[in-house]
Amino acid sequence: MRDFYGVTLANPLMLGTAQYPSPAVLEAAFRASGAAVATVSLRREAGQGQGFWQILKGLGVPLLPNTAGCHSAREAITTAQMARELFETNWIKLEVIGHADTLQPDPFGLLEATETLAADGFEVFPYTTEDQILAARLLDAGAKVLMPWGAPIGSGLGLNNRYGLRSLRAAFPDVPMVIDAGLGLPSHAADALEMGFDAVLLNTAVAQAGDPVAMARAFALAVQAGALARQADPMAPRDMAQPSTPVLGKAWL
Amino acid sequence: MRIEVNGAAQDITGPTLADALAELGWTQARVATALNGDFIPKTARSQTRLKPGDRLEVLAPMQGG
């Protein structure tokens, strides 16, 4: 497994901490998932942040703070600087959102913020699209990890552009990549790993499931299956049928 | 003086950002601060002087995806 800024993860699952029915369910789901990274955010202190920090410490995994909700490079840069101090990590899941309905990345703001933050010692995980040109620019700007979307955040649609994602994976074979956003089912996560992505990041699919703990376990099994399948070198698909049972020796009836 | 703290008007007396946080009860809290859109590191809070109309953001760890 490729490492993320020098950190080798115990398994290829990153899990968000938002939208669970209660803190107890969050903790139980997190344990059931075996996730190796927890994503977190920063919001105005309204009395709940300090207790949440204690829960995070109890999870015992590296934290990946995000810049969710930032619509400009400047906002994202300031948020990243605050996150670095608050969470004591150089990791930043860099989101620069371009449109409120689709929550798709603003490629121009994303590139600008990546350049600034990478130069300032941040280890940037840019939330990006499957666009190869943008990927190359982000890598030039100092990102050493890419986080292409599967589908719009919270949509649960899975891998929306399989051709684009496969091409991106093939174009940068040595770059660690995480499929971030849009996964709704464990099969989507397995799909991403079978395609050669190094990890998946999800939140809503677990937190908003009827039984988040059971769904967390299902994702744990799916990423294990997907990663193992990738290592096992899957067969190439073909358009025509080919008998699996030998033709030679068939009786003349 | 009157400043804006997390979007709401607040009257504070202390001249510095560190004083303001103490007045608001956040001295011990795990928070990060930004003044008028710029990050102010913890180490700079006691040297950062406030002026009326300043916009102070005080952020804490929160759930995120």
All residues of chain A having their beta carbon less than 8 Å from the beta carbon of residue B32 are 42, 82-83, 85-86
pLDDT tens for A134-176 read 999 999 999 999 999 999 998 999 999 999 999 999 999 999 9
Higher-confidence residue of A38 and A45: namely A38
What would the two tokens of residue A99 be? Answer: 């449109």
Q: Does B32 touch chain A (CB under 8 A)?
A: yes
Chain A, nearest residue to B65 by Cα? A16
Q: Does the pLDDT value for residue A46 go beyond 90?
A: no
Question: CA-CA distance, A114 to A103, in Å (whole number)?
Answer: 18
ipTM above 0.90, yes or no: yes
SS3 B47: helix
Query: Residue A247 in 3-state DSSP?
Result: coil
pLDDT digits (tens, 9 = 90+) for A184-214: 999 999 999 999 999 999 999 999 999 999 9
CATH class of residue range B2-59: alpha beta
- Looking at the complex, does the CB of residue B43 fall below 8 Å from at least one CB of chain A? no
Q: Residue A47's pLDDT is what? A: 80
Q: Provide the H-helix boundaries in chain A.
A: 23-33, 49-59, 73-87, 107-119, 132-140, 162-171, 186-194, 204-207, 212-231
pLDDT band of A98, cuts 50, 70, 90: very high
Q: Do B65 and A43 touch (CB under 8 A)?
A: no
Helix (H, G, I), strand (E, B) or coil at B18: helix
Cross-chain Cβ contact A85/B62 below 8 Å: no
Q: What is the pLDDT of residue B27?
A: 87
The neighbour count for residue A196, using CB atoms within 10 Å, is: 15
Task: Give residue A27's pLDDT band: very low, low, confident or very high (50, 70, 90).
Answer: very high
Indicate the length of chain A as a whole number: 253
For chain B (65 residues), the mean pLDDT of every run of 10, in chain order, is 94 94 91 97 96 96 93
Q: Residue A125 burial by CB count (10 A; 0-12/13-18/19+): exposed, middle or buried?
A: buried
Q: Is the pLDDT of residue A1 over 80?
A: no
Contacts of residue A68, defined as CB under 8 A and 6 or more positions apart, other chains included, come to A41, A95, A97, B64, B65
Q: Which residue of B has its CA nearest to A75?
A: B37
Say whether pLDDT at A221 is over 70: yes
Domain spans, chain B: 2-59
Which pTM value belongs to this model? 0.92
CB distance from A175 to chain B under 8 Å?
Answer: no
